[in-house]
Chain A
Amino acid sequence: MHEMSIAGSMLEAVRAESARHNAHVLALGVKIGDLSGVDSESLRFCFDALVQDTDLAPLALQIEHLPWRNRCRQCAQDFAVQEYRTECPQCGSADTAMASGQELEFAYMEIAET
């Protein structure tokens, strides 16, 4: 359960951005990969708990999920990994490597007009 500390890091970024623009942040957009090790529901719960009854409220958390994708080292095919099947669907090679899915990134903030 490290989602609470991750939510805390997110709110630090929101405060910094809010101060920089001297405006209220209405929404935070983040990208979370399926292999990031972060559970979205748990993150949302922690995020809302930390925001509630503070000057940061109202603040929405908008999560974009990024699926686990591999790229084939033989034929360069990029494909979504489903049911842990990491072999290339195009050429059948088992020699594939992760292309995306580990992301835990900020994407954007929506800031109120001043």
Chain B
Amino acid sequence: MVNYLVSLGIFTAIFALFSLGLNLQWGYTGLINFGQVAFLGLGAYTTILLSSAGVPLIIAVGVGAILAALLGLGIGFSTLRLREDYLAIVTIGVAEVLQRVALNEEWLTRGARGVYGYPLPLRNFNPPLVVALAMVALLTAIVALAGWRWWQWLRHHIHGPLQPTAGWQGFSLIPYLVCLAGLQFSLWQLCTRGSPIFWFGAGLSLILAVGCCYIDSFREASQRQSPLKTLLTQGWPTHLILLTSTLLAGVLGVIYQSVVLGLFNNDYKSRLLWLVILVLALMFWQLERWVHSPWGRVLKAIREDEEVARALGKNVFVYKLQSFMLGGAMTGVAGAFYAWQLSFLEPKGTFDSLLTFQAWTIVVLGGSGNNAGTLLGAVIFWAYTGLTRFLNDALPLDDARIGAFRVMLIGLLLVVLMMWRPQGILGKKEELTLGR
């Protein structure tokens, strides 16, 4: 069970990288890329073929990223001067072409038989205690930073709960963290031992943790109305967000714990997850810096109205090209991790256009033009995928039908989201009401 969570975590991080590339292209620059998977596949194949031939992994990944960027350059050079719909169609075509090449050039890719047994990063790396400790420290720092940002976001966006009242600045972070630790402990026990008593523990600590968020607002509100009334009038999205984010924090805690244990116990998947989280964190940080720089401002201007950007002296074509290539390179890196996680690569699955649309789902779900939203979208998407796997046991349907049913459900989810929150989960509502 814990292993399943870890591999779910790896997929989440890989898809987050994959979708961040798309978010740069679509969310920030307004470029429609329906062939995102071409970059993924090119990065994946380049990395594993080169490393199989004896090239060091880091160089292989670098070459993969560069080739993906060059693919972006090629596509961009031929189509970015045209209207955006042409780009969309060309990208679909390129993805198909690359799939056919990978299928038929058997001397290079072994065609439909697929490639396996290629070198994996940190495969035989058994870290001495000091190194393992350093790795854990780095991971902890990343997790703590992300957790802190998350808490900040919650406090900033949720009105009512989490808001410290006047003169009462000791908001319930400490009790909240204690309850969260309890939740995480119960979940861990559930995953490793499965004794049903811990369902009770998990449920209780979840409720207590969420309760902590309300304490302060209750203190203020209780002077005016009953706490129960406060609870019921605060709007269900608030309760839902608090509940799911707390639960998610518990699950992420379980994954974190298993990675930490895995780093000491020489578990390969833990090391891979550690590596992909590190890369994801670095890329996320760099992207955030870029999109908030004057460079990112030009991209956003192009997204809004490229004629205006041109009239103000910006070389629109070059910026579009940069965005397209950079997004492509990031996706190429995601492709390398994708190959390492699967440890078997064949053209049909690797260049499956479904992957492209999963990335689109993630970007739209989280709110396009928002990197944190893309991360959240990836988490939601894979949490959904992970949970609905268990439908197999619950529903009297065969595997193929269950598969179709899952895709149908996520389609439905998107439709509902587009009606209820067209800007995506972290998107800004005001942006929708703006006139052009």
Whether A associates with B in a native complex is no
